[in-house]
Amino acid sequence: MLELADVDAFYGNSHALQSINLKVAPGEFLSVLGRNGVGKTTLMRSILGLMDRVTGQLSLDGADISALRTYQRAKAGIAYVPQGRGILPRFTVRENLVLGTFAAKQANGIEEWVIELFPVLKDFLNRYGGNLSGGQQQQLAIARALLAQPKVILLDEPTEGIQPNLVEEIENVIIRLNRDVGLTVVLVEQNVSFVRRAAHRFAMMEKGRVVAAGDIGELSDALVHRHMAV
């Protein structure tokens, strides 16, 4: 279980997150929603320990992780697929994947089942990451995160800017990771219909706060219009 209690986060003096309380149970799929600039990425960065200053409690499986460094949080089982993907362009696909394995508790190399989720990666192992399309880079970023053998995977707008023919493929893999592999998923997403199809629970953000949360069945059109419509 990933738990945030009274979490606040800051960029310098700017108060980016306020009083965030969230619980994600093992095997659960939580989607974080909200307009641009409300703090969704900041929330992911806070869970990973990538912010200047975070107050409040963060725990994973009952253990306090607030004082851990980012690489220790990764070893503890939190994987992150950042918005914009974070592929190293001058590293090959294989080298990008090997980076993911470094965060694993037990080194298992590049596991076959991960490559099989995204067969295109197998053909491109020796290509530079920077030469892949955006959608292929997203697949690589997800595969790299999985090779860290996480308990929970944080995905920040994984289908943003992806060519339409790959969007559904990526969405289906994310659903499989939760339902078949049993991974706990925290997904930042703008596509409400995908969220309704995939998630168990949602948290709607506005101005650095969670303003509504609940079971996915409670994500009404009225809530979506109030907090997401442009």
Q: Which stretch binds Mg ion (CB under 5 A): 14-22, 79-87, 104-112, 123-131?
A: 79-87
- Tell me the number of residues near ligand ADP by CB under 6 A: 11
Query: From the CB of 13, what's the least distance to ligand ADP, in Å?
Result: 10
195 HSE (CA, 13 A, CB side): 28
Contact 184, 153 (CB under 8 A): yes
Q: Is 41 in the site for ligand ADP (CB under 6 A)?
A: yes
Q: Which two tokens stand for residue 31?
A: 């989607």
* Residue 127 exposed, middle or buried by CB count within 10 Å (0-12, 13-18, 19+): middle
Q: Which residue has the tokens 């659903």?
A: 175
User: Judged by CB, which is closer to Mg ion: 34, or 100?
Assistant: 34
Query: From the CB of 36, what's the least distance to ligand ADP, in Å?
Result: 4
Q: Is 14 in the site for ligand ADP (CB under 6 A)?
A: yes
Q: Is 150 in the site for ligand ADP (CB under 6 A)?
A: no
Q: Is 38 in the site for ligand ADP (CB under 6 A)?
A: yes
Q: Which two tokens stand for residue 95?
A: 């080298």
Q: Which two tokens stand for residue 39?
A: 């703090």
Query: From the CB of 18, what's the least distance to ligand ADP, in Å?
Result: 11
